[in-house]
Structures are given as C-alpha cells and as structure tokens.
Amino acid sequence: MTGGADGNRTSHAASSDTGIGRTKRTVSALLVVSCISTAAALAQDEAAPGAFTEAQAAAGRADYATYCAACHAADLMGVAGAPPLAGEAFLARWGARTIGELVTYTGLTMPPADAGGLSDDEYAAVTAYTLQRNAAQPGGTPLTAASSIEIASVAAVPPADAAAAADADIPLGVTVAGRVENYEPITAAELRNPDPADWPMIRRDYGASNYSPLDQINRANIDRLELAWVYSMTDRDGRDQPAPMAYNGVVFVNNPPNVMQALDGRTGELIWETRISGPLNYHPMRGSALYDDKLYVATTEAHLLALDAATGEIVWEAVLGDREDGGFTASSGPIVADGKVLQGMGTCQQYREEKCFIGAFDAATGEELWRFETVARDGLPGGDTWNGLPDIFRAGGDVWITGSYDPELNLAFFGVAQAKPWMRASRQTGDGDALYTTSTLAIDVATGELAWYFQHAPGETVDLDEVFERVLIDDAGQKFVVTIGKPGIIWKLDRETGQYVDHAETMFQNVFTSIDPETGQPEYREDIVGHRVGNWVQICPGLSGGHNWPAMGFHKPMRRLVIPLMQACNELLPLDVPLEPGLTTVGAGWRAYELPGSNGNLGRLAAFDLGSLEEVWSYEQRVPFMSSALTTAGGLVFIGDLDRSLKAFDVETGDVLWRTRLGTAVQGFPISYAIDGRQYVAVPTGWGAGAQLFYVSAILEEPLRVPEAGSALYVFALEE
Amino acid sequence: MAPVALFLAAAFFGAAAQDTQTYEVRLAAAPRDSAMREFVAGSGSAEVTLAGTELTVTGRFEGLKSAATQANIHLAPVTGVRGPAVYELEVSTASAGTISGVFELSDETLARLDAGHLYIQIDSDSAPEGNLWGWLLRTDR
C-alpha cells in the first residue's frame, strides 16, 4: 500500500533560526544579552582589544550559514555529532589555544565535504564570527591564521549560554508542589506483569513490547476518538522525545531540559513539577522509570536521580562517570531491574581515558553497584579487537536507548552504538571488530558480568547503529530477543545463549553483500571496508536508518512486529582524524539522498510476521514517522510523523482508520492507559528529533515547516 | 553481484529480450547536504523503454539552480552507488528542459540494467558532480 504525501508544505525552512519557538524568547533573550554584555565587556578589558574586525564577523556570519550551520546548528551548539562552537564546551576545548590554531584546524578539517575548500579569508571570517558569538569584541585588527592571541583572553560565555544561566534563576527542585494522593508503591511483581490499565515504563513492559492490552478503543469505534485533554510541556531548545508513563491514574512525563511532571491522567491537571539542573545540549530525555515509591530519571548531563514519585522531591542523585576529562550525556532513560537502576551513557566519542558504561545503581540509595564498559580495553576480553590502539583512542559504544530485562534469566539486554570516529579509516581500527560496539549485550543484573554478546556488524564503519530496542518474545517454546538497527535488518537471537536464529531485510540495502544464514555474520561491500580518507562512500540506508529510535510495537495477539522505517541514503566522507587526546569528533562528512525505489517516500511503517519475518503490509509516505508504534488489543497501531499527523492503522491490514493533525511534530513514545474503565491514548509532540529531521532537511525539495514551539501531551479517548 | 548470478540474469534476459520493459524514473536531487540546497536542486522524471536491446530515454526536468551541462546514463557497481557515465543523453542546456537518447545495449549491460545498476544523472554548472539523478529499477518484482 502506498500513501501520498500528507499535509501542507510551505517554503519556510524546517529549522530556521527565526522559527516560532525562538521568536517568543526574543525579548527575554535581549534582556539577558544586555545584562551579560556588561560582564563580557569587563572580560574584554583585560584582553587584547579587537582580535578581528566587524567586517570579518559579518562576512563570517554568511559563510557560517552556508558551510557550517548544517552541522553545528544556527546557534553554534552543534547537532548530529558536530561539537558546539559556543559556550562552556567550546571554551573548555579551545580556550587555552590560540586563534591561529583554530583557524588552521578549521582549514584542515572543514567543511567535511570539502576540507580546505574555502579561501583563507573565509576561514578567518568564520573564525571571527565564532569568536563574536562567544562574546569577543571586534576591533581594527583583522584576524589571520598567524594570530597568537589566546582564545580565552578574548572570548567568554556567550549570550546563548548566558540566557541559560539566567534561566538558572528559575528555582530548581520541586517547582510546583503537590502530592499524588494515595500513591501506591509499585512492586517488582507489578513491573513484571503490569496492570492492563498501566504503562509503568518506557515501551510499557520489560520486554519492550509497546503493546497495550486495552481494547475499548478499537477498529470499530476509532472514528469516535476525540481529544480528552492537552497539556503544554516546556518549550525550550532541546530535543523532545518523551516517553510518558502511566500508573494508577497518574501520567508522568519528562520535558526538555530535565523537567519531570506528574499529571492527573483523567483531567490533565498538573500535580507536581520538578526541575533538575542540567544544560540544554540537544540531547533528549527519553525514558524514566518507576519502582517502589520512586521515579528515576537521567538528565542530559548524565546525572541519575531518584524522585519521590508522590511529590517529585529529589531523594538521591548520582553522577555517571568520574568526569575528569569532560562530560557525558544520557538520553536513554533508566530501567529498574532486580532492585537496581540500570543506565547507559552517551557522548562517548571523545578521546579520553574514561569509557562509557552501563551502570547499576542501588534503587534505594543511588550507590553504584557495578559498571560494564562498552569499549574493550587492552588486556581485557575483546581488547585485542581495536587494532592495537591505545585505550585513550578507543571511542564510541554509546548506549542511548533504554535496555530490556528478563526477570527469569535475570539478564538485561542492551544495544551498543558504533565505534567512533564512524569510519575505519578515520578511527584507525583496521579490520578489527572494535568490541563491544554495534552489539547486543546480555548482562547479568546481579553481577554486571557479560553473559553473552552478539556483534551485528563487526568493525562497523558507516555509522549504522544497532543500538535500538531489544524486544523480548517467547514463541514456540523459545526465548528470543528481536531487534532492528539502522541497516533495516530484523535480527532474531536466542536470548538465553546469544545464538543467531534468523534475520530479514526490511528494505533495500547495499551495505552488506551477504549475511551468513548459519551465523548471521555479514559481509561488507568491498569498497566500504576498503574506503580511504577523502573518498566518498555511498550507503543505503543511511545515517538516519533504516530504523532509528522510534521503537517498534509487537502486537502480541497477531504476532506482528510493526516497525517505523525511514528510506534515505547517505554518502560519507571519511576525514583524517588526528589521535589527539580530548578530541571529540565523528570524523566524517555526509550528504543525503532518497533511497532508490522509494519514490521519494522517506517514511514507512511496515508489519512483519514474527515467525517468518515476512512483510505482511507496508505503508509509505513522504515524511518520516517520528514516534514509536503503539499497538493495542483493539487491533490498532498509533504513530505520528514529522508533518504533525497522528494516524491510527488497522494492525491487520495496514489501512489508515483515523488521523488528525497536532501542533508540531508528533514524536516520542505514545502510550495507552485506563482510569475507571475509560481508555486513553497519550501522544507527545515536540521538536528537534535529531537525525531524521536533520537528514530530511537535506533531501526534501519543499522544506516542511515544523513549529519549534508546541511541545505538549495530547490525550485522546472515546466520546462520552 | 556474483558472476553466476550475472550470468543467470543475462540468460533470463536473453530469453525475454523481445519483450518491452518500461521504467518510470524519478529524477531527484543527487546527494547533498543542507547547505548544498542552494545549488543542487530541482526535479524531473523520465520514461525509459527497453525493446529488445534498444533503450529509449525521454524525460524532462525543472527547477535547477543553474543550466544543465550534460546528462548521461551511468553504470553503478551496485544500486545506490555512483558509477561512471556510459551513455550520453541529449539535454537542454537550461535550468529546465528535456533529456533524450536511444542506445543499443550489450548483453552485459542488459544484465546490469536488469539488476538495477543503471541510473540517469543530469549535471549542471553549479553541480558538476550531479544535480539530479534517478535509478532504472524494475517495479514488477
């Protein structure tokens, strides 16, 4: 089945710097700028005046928009692996170095698609603009690559960060006090077997099914679905991919940046709100977790907190990692298993001694109980798979999706992202497997020891993560873990042993020439593993996947996997990445294009039979789906897209039975719950979904207008 | 593709060589990043007909940011990957216009066509490495 492009299109850019969401903050931003300018001016008094000219900065503004903004973002805060060029992170890396070094480095490495391709004047101008955005003041001396001025002597925290700092005036902790009346602590037994009315964790259950057993809303009455209530979430810069939970009539939802709210699930009334410190760093908060009397949440700067679920008060706070060499992020959200809070980490691409890990923390106290590093160090098991690289240069292995848990086996299952830099030629790992990247890990929850691993793409080399949801399914007497990664390949493994069972390609792919039917071992296309720095490599699907964070739903009665897919390709340019401690880079340039044979349909939702893995139905549309697929016992699949549409599909046929349009992109993790016998469907909207939006903006001929404001939770129910 | 598979595809195609096969080709932007939208843009379509061993191409395009300079059929090592130009098409040297051409294909090229390894590419002044491209893919599979 093929659907046409939905929705209206305008000529406005999708991620315009002057979008609605930013406009409403202009007044406050100006006030902040005026306050900060004094401090910045004071800072300049001690510095050499005028490290660049006003004309250079003006020219650099235009050059930046043309060559840099696509990766580093209009506000210089960086997206898709490109580091921020403003604020504390920028100054931490470059503050002690000279302006000349920055010009030289930029000239050698940027823009990724054409490193060294700009003129000397253009590199100087871009650098001048970067410094200006970091509160440096222009003067009469032109900036050149010979400048020996230390960056920290002329630059300071820029207005954007100053605005965030000003927002720090907003009280942290419990900002709206309230109490969930008669809150009943949720037990381990309830987490193992949730009440049909509840949705107590991301993807609802330990098996990550995304399936609700509620059937009041069904194929026969879906046309009577109407809005019950809507609650606006905090509209702030940051990626918004929330995974709300519902327990005992209360909806718990996270907002960027690091805000948790409890809402009355029947009325949408706010019960309590807690704001947790942490930067706006374009990393979303996806999941949170409930256990006993606490709610667990990980922040964008990889702090893990326990809140009192009834009041939102902070009970304990732990920091993931020692932070000696910089920061980490956490976007996945925790899962509670066997009394432990399990949490993975992100932003692992920095060359540093400390590696990313999956950590277990005591649910009652926050004490760290164990950690499993996702990058194998030299001398440890798997440590000989990194081509002899010193440990400090073994990077990547992010765990940016919440894991799953099998209580009977007491095993937790996590996906691990790719090694960094993305491409072998850049990261210098040769043909090494680079364990434990691009793998499924089964970890003993009691000890933190690795029970088994299955590496889906040894030595992965084109940014095709296999990090996403691990769905635990028992079928025909076997225990399976099912997953799908960016290559768009469904993997079925025996979750007791890690043995490969089966796979299926869901879309055209040209990355692997074959996959061994006995072992699941893929064979890369020859020119992919033979790539060299400076030569473009084309891959389908591309960096957005295939499949990405919008999780599949497993419709249990029909034994169907309903999977959001994206049909786009990329060509990648491996860069020469120096082995320099502290360096943070993915080390590749990219361009995007439509998947051949997709007829320009970037979005696709398809259902596959669990047993045969054969496609049952498929629905295509111009814009990508941006939410997980919520399946229900009512025979429905709910899913939203970038163009603000929320649709309900018939899980049996793939027919669209109902649709509506919401305020902005429908993204995050829709859920269903019930209160006093009435079923609700809660759907988040928000902005800044990451890879999909980023690559779509390069492909679509008519850019979508996706409002940057409009983060909200829409809740639907049948008319009363 | 393995040599055996190529041989089988060629053999199959030889048997069906007298049939007419039509390819509807969507011409969309060649690989680009967001910044390249300023000079890599446009759209188009082409109808490609294979009668026996004769391939006929007719198409149109519009919306280029600069004048088209050349159009070719390219032979890729695999679908979705760039490859060298092998047949030159007639093209309007403007930001909108038509493409056309008639070619006699060898057995080997017929097999590659059947495998989805041929694509049309239009270059322009501002996008000499590809402005629009589209793949010749069978839709009956």
Asked if A596 lies within 8 A of B30 by C-beta distance, the reply is: no
pLDDT of residue A12: 24
For chain B, which residues make up each domain, given as ranges?
3-135
Asked if B31 lies within 8 A of A571 by C-beta distance, the reply is: yes
Provide CB contacts within 8 A for A689, sequence distance 6+: A239, A240, A241, A626, A642, A665, A667
With contacts defined as CB-CB under 8 Å, which chain B residues touch A12? none
Contact between residue A183 and residue A200 where contact means Cβ atoms under 8 Å apart: no
| Candidate from B34, B81, B82 with C-beta closest to A697 | B34
CATH class of segment(s) A47-167: mainly alpha
Question: Which pair of structure tokens corresponds to residue A103?
Answer: 């010009």
pLDDT of residue A32: 26
Q: Could you tell me how many CB contacts below 8 A there are between chain A and chain B?
A: 78
Calculate how close chain A gets to B51, using CA atoms only, in Å.
Answer: 22
**CA separation, residue A369 to residues A173, A365, A366, A447, A607 (Å):** 26, 11, 9, 8, 40
Asked if A596 lies within 8 A of B135 by C-beta distance, the reply is: yes
Contact between residue A275 and residue A171 where contact means Cβ atoms under 8 Å apart: yes
pLDDT of residue B140: 74
pLDDT of residue A179: 98
Has the ipTM of the complex gone over 0.85? yes
Q: Closest Cα to residue A550, out of A242, A291, A310?
A: A242
Cα A647 to Cα A658: distance, rounded to the nearest angstrom: 6
CATH 3.90.700.10 for the A320-536 domain, yes or no: no
- Give ∠ CA A331-A334-A336 in degrees, rounded to 5: 175
- Burial code (b: 16+ CB inside 10 Å, e: under 16) for A17-29 equals eebbbbeebeeeb
Q: Name the DSSP letter for residue B15.
A: H
Contact residues, chain B to chain A, C-beta under 8 Å: 26, 28-38, 41-43, 63, 77-82, 116, 119, 133, 135, 137
Asked if A600 lies within 8 A of B26 by C-beta distance, the reply is: yes
Contact residues, chain A to chain B, C-beta under 8 Å: 66-67, 69-70, 111, 113, 508, 510, 525, 527, 536, 538-540, 569-571, 589-597, 599-600, 697-699, 701
Burial classification of residue A716, based on how many CB atoms lie within 10 Å of its CB (0-12 exposed, 13-18 middle, 19 or more buried): buried
Cα A593 to Cα B33: distance, rounded to the nearest angstrom: 9
Spans of chain A, pLDDT less than 70: 1-49, 69-71, 73-74, 78-82, 108-109, 112-116, 158-170, 235-238, 278-283, 688-694, 703
pLDDT of residue A78: 66
CATH class of segment(s) B3-135: mainly beta
The count of C-alpha atoms lying within 13 angstroms of the C-alpha of B91, restricted to the half-sphere facing its C-beta, is 24
pLDDT of residue A405: 98
Q: Closest Cα to residue A351, out of A330, A384, A375?
A: A375
% of chain B at pLDDT higher than 70: 87
Closest chain A CA to residue B138: A597
What does the pLDDT average to over B28-46? 92
Strand-pairing partners, residue B58, are B47, B100
Asked if B135 lies within 8 A of A597 by C-beta distance, the reply is: yes
pLDDT of residue A706: 81
Q: How many CB atoms lie within 10 A of CB A53?
A: 18
Q: Closest Cα to residue A200, out of A312, A332, A343, A334?
A: A334
| Candidate from B30, B35, B80 with C-beta closest to A510 | B80
Q: Sorting pLDDT into bands at 50, 70 and 90, what band is B14?
A: very low
For chain A, which residues make up each domain, given as ranges?
47-167, 320-536
Cα B49 to Cα A171: distance, rounded to the nearest angstrom: 69
Cα A354 to Cα A460: distance, rounded to the nearest angstrom: 22
